[in-house]
Amino acid sequence: MSEADRLRLPAAAMALDGGAVRDKPDSKANVFADLGSPVSPLRARASMTTSSSSSSGSAKSPAQSNVGAAGVAGGRSHSGELAVESHPPRLPGHRRSGSGPLIFSGGSSSGGSGGGGGDRGSTASSPMTNALPAGNICPSGRVPGAAAAPPPPRSRPDVLGSGTGHYGHGSIMRGAGMVPARSSIDAPSFLGHSMRSPASSPVAPPSGGSLQEMTRLGNEWYKKGRHGEALRYYDRAVSLCPESAACRGNRAAALIGLGRLADALRDSEEAVRLDPASGRAHSRLAGLYLRLGMIEKARRHFTQARHLHESDPADWEKLQDVEMHLGRSTDARKIGDWKSALREADAAIAAGADSSQLLRALRSEALLRLHKLEEADSTLTSLLKLDKSLLSWTAAKLSGMLVESYVHIVRAQVDMALGRFDAAVAAAENARLIDPGNAEVGMILNNVRLVARARAQGNELFKAAKFSDASIAYGEGLKYDPSNPVLHCNRAACWWKLDRWEKAVDDCNEALRIQPTYTKALLRRAMSYSKLDRWADCVRDYEALRKELPADTEVAEALFHAQVALKTTRGEDVSNMKFGGEVEMVTSVEQLYAATRSPGVSVVYFMSSVNQQCIQITPAVDSLCSECPSMNFLKVNVEDSPTVAKAENVRIVPTFKIYKNGARVKEMICPTLHVLRYSVRHYAVSSS
């Protein structure tokens, strides 16, 4: 091999491996072992996305919403209100009496509706002697024993929160279910219970506790933000009185705090079914639907809450904002305006639809079309962390496609762009099973299958060294998916094997345009540049690879040879350049001057063998010497060579001096490891 060829590419990089592992990302380690294999892309790093959470129920940042954010519909004061079940659901033959006690009317029919914390009614007019006793009244209508009538209402009822205090998910209202929503009676004092607080550490709720005690203790934990502990008591309360709308609502609020929206939705819907006259239950359910992006259902229940005087103007503003941005996003998708689609989807998520799977999928598709593949993938990952059962409530469609099917279609396209072809086919087939009659689903499934088949055929031909036929196969796949970076990179490998390096560069450019962090495409382009003697471009690509793969010695060696070739074409002296050498010990002033005045960059390390800082930083200097082979690393022991230290006016160790072409450009006294690495790498890049 000629000297020029040796400089173009290290021998180890010539071996091409046609690995057959499917849907498995390439390892960063030893990328040269597989740089000729088109089977799967080599990734630089996993994309990072920002996550977002909100204590008001709407995402502050759309990239990553917290499904457990406090609040149902943007932190409204009553969306998560908790009602102590001082009385169970209405008994047969009873009627409500507003802020007064329940009045016994002597009826014998069964199936009365459940009591809730948001009930309203007229002022009681019947005598107090007919009031039901307080305590754990069972749905059967049995009254365990006589009890004294409650004391007359005070002029100012004892209210916790009065509908305005925030304890994570709304105001916690302690009061009987038969009083107005914003004026609940203090249940513990009314019922004669002690006001002791729950223990500081969570304990299992007692199996024999009363309904009122379970609810009171659950409320105490809820106020502390300990939703898991509160849920234990609310579970017990629901088991004691499963037909209570208030108990269901309390448990829904705790479930929202835990991010279990599907379970909260079930309890909220059940609370509305049990007590359709509870404005609070309608409001909570509407807030959940809003977070899920289900506009029509949210509007219906917000309307019911307004009729029951439990409406908040802020809820309507959020509903209108989400509806507006969602509509704009879907309209932008229809015309392929992906920047607008992404912007409007983010705005809808921020407005309150933080758990909408439709919006997450739409956002991911827009990112895919904008060639932000890693971010699109991370958005889908966050979507999949949401409760999958939530999709069963989402009957909406996007351009005639069921939302659940749409999620799988987006997943298929992202997988295919990232080289996960088998997973892409499986996702598209799932979409077809869910929505068999949709034409768009059928078309995308067909395309995914054709692209996956073309890629598989190309791989087999490449392994058989039929590079021309393999390039044709990859080209067939690109007819159905022109923006697939994997197929472009695979075809570039064929061109490289066929000595058609210009075409290889073109395909790598296209792959990197679609996916800028595609490491294997960057590596193949650097190799092609070396064959074309485009050394400046070659060095630039290898330097980028070194940042991504700092531990890969073969990339480091390829960079070194490219730098040598570049300096040679510029007429610079390269006799002093070496690769992978050790730090050179300097013992005389003449030796130091000769080294630092030579072309290139030299790093001089003044040290002492007994200095603790020097002992700690020396291994890092040795590592930098290997990482930056184009630089000269020199070491001066000030104890053994005091004249050298005196000539350079070094009085403190460790001291580092960096020289470029004979001129000192930087001096560092006792630098941190971070500063040292940054400075050395900075001048290593600038030297090329």
In this predicted structure, what is the pLDDT of residue 55? Answer: 35
Same domain, 478 and 537: yes
| Calpha distance 97→83 (Å, rounded) | 17
DSSP 639: T
302/103: higher pLDDT? 302
Pick from 342, 348, 450, 362: which is nearest to 406 by CA?
362
pLDDT at 670 over 80: yes
Is the pLDDT at 58 greater than 90, yes or no? Answer: no
Compute the average pLDDT of residues 607-616. Answer: 92
Report the CATH number that the domain containing residue 605 is assigned in CATH.
3.40.30.10
Among residues 243, 277, 311, the one where a domain terminates is: 277
Question: Do 537 and 415 share a structural domain?
Answer: yes
553 in any annotated domain:
no
For residues 419-432, give the mean pLDDT: 95
**Mean predicted confidence (pLDDT) in 131-149:** 38
Where in the sequence is the domain holding 89, given as residue range(s)?
Answer: 82-277
Q: What is the pLDDT of residues 312-339, one digit of tens each?
A: 889 999 999 999 999 999 999 999 999 9
Asked if residue 98 belongs to a domain, the reply is yes
| The pLDDT of residue 391 | 54
In a domain, 415, yes or no: yes
For 506-535, the pLDDT digits (tens) are 999 999 999 999 999 999 999 999 999 999
- The answer on pLDDT for 175 being more than 80 is no
**Residue range 139-160: average pLDDT?**
38
In this structure, the answer to whether residues 621 and 680 fall within a common structural domain is: yes
Instruction: Classify strands 397-398 and 401-402 as parallel, antiparallel or unpaired.
Output: antiparallel
Query: How does DSSP classify residue 584?
Result: E
Q: Give residue 505's pLDDT band: very low, low, confident or very high (50, 70, 90).
A: very high
Is residue 450 situated within a structural domain?
A: yes
- Among 246, 277, 308, identify where a domain stops: 277
The stretch 355-378 carries a mean pLDDT of: 93
Indicate if the pLDDT at residue 80 is higher than 80.
no
Query: Do 501 and 624 belong together in one domain?
Result: no
Q: Is residue 579 part of a domain?
A: no
Q: How many domains does one find in the chain?
A: 3
Rounded to 5°, the CA angle 291-62-75 comes to: 40
- What are the residues facing 594 on neighbouring strands? none
Closest CA to 676 of 612, 610, 606, 598: 606
In a domain, 554, yes or no: no
144 and 244 part of one domain: yes
| Burial class for 140, CB neighbours closer than 10 Å (0-12, 13-18, 19+) | exposed
Q: Are residues 88 and 237 in the same domain?
A: yes
The answer to whether residues 590 and 651 belong to one domain is: yes
Taking residues 397-405, report their average pLDDT: 80
Q: Residue 96 pLDDT more than 60?
A: no
DSSP 42-60: BBS----------TTSS-S
Instruction: Clarify whether residues 613 and 529 are in a common domain.
Output: no
Under 8 Å CB-to-CB from 312, ≥6 apart: which residues?
A: 76, 77, 78, 283
Contact 498, 16 (CB under 8 A): no
Given 497, 520, 548, which residue is the final one in a domain? 548
Backbone angles phi, psi at 632, to 5 degrees: -95, 130
Encoded tokens for 187? 């249940």
Q: Which range (177-186, 536-545, 603-612) has the least confidence? A: 177-186
Residues 6 or more apart from 663 whose CB is under 8 A from it? none
Indicate whether 159 belongs to any domain.
yes
Residues 502, 598 within the same domain: no
Q: Is-contact 289 272, C-beta < 8 A?
A: no
Residue 207 pLDDT level (bands cut at 50, 70, 90) = low
| Same domain? 110 vs 199 | yes
Strand duo 103-104 + 401-402: pairing: unpaired
pLDDT value at 560 more than 70: yes
CATH number at residue 474: 1.25.40.10
Q: How many residues does the chain have?
A: 688
| pLDDT, tens only, 277-304 | 999 999 999 999 999 888 999 999 999 9
Phi, psi (degrees; rounded to nearest 5) at 407: -60, -45
Q: Is residue 348 part of a domain?
A: no
Same-domain status, 544 and 592: no
Residue 2, classed as helix, strand or coil, is coil
Give yes or no: residues 477 and 391 share one domain: yes
